[in-house]
Amino acid sequence: MIPPSVPSPLQRLNSRVFLSEPSLQADVTGQERVDGSNYSSVGSPGLVLLFTWMNAQTVHIRKYSDTLRGLFPTSTIVVTTVSKDVYWAGDSTKEGLLTPLMTILRHEKENGNLAKGVLVYLMSNGGGFQLSALQKMLIKSPLNASHQPPVALLMDSTPGNYGLESAINGNTPNNPFLRLFAIPVVALLYGINHFLRWVAGKPPIFTDLRTVVMDPQVLPLSSVSARAEAKAAPRLYIYSNEDQITLARHVERHANEARALGFDVRAEKFENSPHVAHARTDPERYWAAVYDLWVRAVTSRQSVDAKL
C-alpha cells in the first residue's frame, strides 16, 4: 500500500531551509508500513533531510514532505531547497544559507534525536550540491557525536556526470529553435564556472558531487574513530531510462563503483518516468523502496551494536 500523506506545516527558517516537526500526538502503534507490516519494528529516523531539486515549487515539495510525514510520523523533517544560483554562489554564501540546518543538527544531537539516525534524501543534482555544502560545514565545525548514528542515503535522479551535458539538458527549453540559441549560452556559462573552480583549486562541480555521495558515512556526524567503526551507509539509487537530465548510465556507473567498495547498494530503475517524477509514476514501488532503505540502515546498525 502507499503510505498516507499527512499534511504537516513547513516552518520557514530562511529562504532555503524549512522545518516540519512531528506532532506531539505522533504514535506509530498499529500503523502499517507500505508492505503491510508494522512501523514499530524499526521506528522512524530521528531526522529526515530532504534536499530538493533546483527551483522546486512549494506545492510539489509538499507532496514529498507530507508523504514522508506519513511514512515517518516521529521524524524531524528538514527541507532544503536550491536555485540555479548554486552554480555561481561562493562557499560562504552556500554555507550561510545552510546555517539553520546546522543549528537543527546540533539541537537534535543535544536532545538525543540524532542518535535515532538520519535519512539523507537527495533529489536531482541540485540536492546533491546542497549535501556537498553541508558535508564541508560539518568537517569545519564537527558535531562530534559519541557514536555515528545510522545513516541512509537516497539518491533520486542523481548523481549525474559530464556536467556540461546535464547543464544543457536541464537549462535549455524543449523548443528546438529556442534550444539552438540557448545551448551556446549555457555552454559558455558552464565553461566559466568550470574555469573559476579550477582557479580556486576546486574540482568540477559534478566531480565533487560524485565524490561526496561516495563518502562511506555520507555525513561526518561523529568523531573520526567512531565513523571508522561504523558500517557504510546503505544506498538507494532511483533513476530512469527516460531521464534526459541525469542519464541512467551515469547513475549505474556510480552504483557499480559503490558496490565495488563493498557498500550496501540497491537500485530501482524505472522505465518511463522523467526526471524526479518516479514517485508519481509508481508511488507504491517508490515508497516501499524508501522504507526498505531505512530498514536496512537500522538493521546494519543493530548488527554492529551486537558485536560491541
DSSP codes joined into one string, 249-267: HHHHHHHHHHHHTT--EEE
Average pLDDT over residues 114-122: 97
Average pLDDT over residues 139-147: 91
What pLDDT, on a 0 to 100 scale, did the predictor assign at position 38?
45
Average pLDDT over residues 112-121: 96
The 10s digit of each residue's pLDDT in 163-208 is 677 667 666 777 776 777 777 877 777 777 767 777 777 788 889 9
- Are the C-beta atoms of 44 and 28 separated by less than 8 Å? yes
Geometric angle at alpha carbon 100, from 122 and 107, rounded to 5° = 100
3-state helix, strand, coil in the chain (%, to 5): 50, 15, 35
Residue type at position 32: E
Domains in the chain: ranges and CATH? 11-163+206-307 (3.40.50.1820)
Confidence of residue 150 (pLDDT cuts 50, 70, 90): very high
Report pTM.
Answer: 0.88
The 10s digit of each residue's pLDDT in 24-58 is 655 444 344 444 444 446 789 999 999 999 999 99
Residue 213 has pLDDT above 60, yes or no: yes
Quote the CA–CA distance of 279 and 270 in Å, as a whole number: 10
Q: How many CB atoms lie within 10 A of CB 175?
A: 10
Average pLDDT over residues 104-116: 96
Quote the CA–CA distance of 198 and 195 in Å, as a whole number: 5
